[in-house]
Amino acid sequence: MKLIIDDANIEAIKHLIEIYPIDGVTTNPSILAAAARPPFEVLKEIRSIIGCDAELHVQVVARDTRGMLADARRITGELGDGTFVKVPAVPEGLHAMKLLATEGVRVTATAIYTPMQAFLAAKAGASYAAPYINRIDNMGYDGVEVAKTIHDIFGANGLPCEVLAASFKNSQQVLDLVRYGVGAATVAPAVIEGFVKSAAIDAAIDAFVADFEGLCAPGKTMA
Ligand code: E4P
């Protein structure tokens, strides 16, 4: 499963890319608004940090098909042909996906709450479908189960589309989908850092170091 950062904070992206095995960055209009700078300035900076081979997913903001196509052309024109254009899986978006697919534009279908949205997006040519795990949970449904169902639908129908699970609030939601082997998860920095943050981990390492220092000297390392 690919692990992607769901954020546009430059310092957070630099930090995570340096330490963790990260495959790319996703943004949405709300994430870009939070950066409080011209969006393409931020996106170009992200592209230069992650390199041209890493995945970058950028969402259209137009509500009509023609506007979505114009947004898509600006996104790929400014950020490179390999950039994934996020298009909401609504009727206008499905229309845009079909047209973008004929142009070879890589599309991530977004705002997915139901498996049938994902099925239609995949048939319309999307490369990824992004179900919103935590938002679905908050509606009283099971976001992880929705993502698993979508993964199974793609496999059962031979559709060349992957799940890019999004909207996580905790490690367990991500773990359930890592175990299931979905294509990708895009995760906020705080949740990624939480994967390896635990008092038990720190206590174990503290005890090892204390034992070694007891044998040698305080502050002594192997070097
Ligand atoms: C991804 O496509 C979504 O834009 C994003 O992950 C939503 O996350 P949120 O529910 O934490 O805002």
Kindly report the protein residue whose alpha carbon is nearest to atom 4 of ligand 1.
28
Could you list the pLDDT tens digit for every one of the 223 residues in the chain? Answer: 999 999 999 999 999 999 999 999 999 999 999 999 999 999 999 999 999 999 999 999 999 999 999 999 999 999 998 899 999 999 999 999 999 999 999 999 999 999 999 999 999 999 999 999 999 999 999 999 999 999 999 999 999 999 999 999 999 999 999 999 999 999 999 999 999 999 999 999 999 999 888 888 788 787 7
Task: State the angle between helix axes of 10-19 and 39-50 in degrees (0 to 180), rounded to the nearest 10.
Answer: 10
Whether ligand 1 lies within 6 angstroms of the CB of 28 is answered as yes
Domain CATH number, residue 29: 3.20.20.70
Distance 132 CA to ligand 1 centre (A): 6
The reply to whether 175 falls in a domain is yes
The reply to whether 80 falls in a domain is yes
H-helix segments, the chain: 10-19, 29-35, 39-50, 65-79, 91-102, 115-123, 133-138, 143-156, 171-180, 189-194, 199-215
DSSP H or E segment with residue 24: strand 24-26
Whether ligand 1 lies within 6 angstroms of the CB of 110 is answered as yes
Q: Show the domain range for 176.
A: 2-195
How many folded domains does the chain comprise? Answer: 1
The reply to whether 222 falls in a domain is no
**pLDDT computed for residue 222 by the predictor:** 79
**Token pair 């047209």 is at which residue?**
99
Q: d(Cα 14, Cα 17) in Å, to the nearest integer?
A: 5
- What value of ipTM does the predicted structure carry? 0.96
Per the structure block, which two tokens stand in for 49? Answer: 């940090």
> Probe ligand 1: pick from 30, 61, 132, max atoms within 8 Å of CB?
132
The reply to whether 63 falls in a domain is yes
Whether ligand 1 lies within 6 angstroms of the CB of 134 is answered as yes
The reply to whether 188 falls in a domain is yes
**pLDDT computed for residue 213 by the predictor:** 86
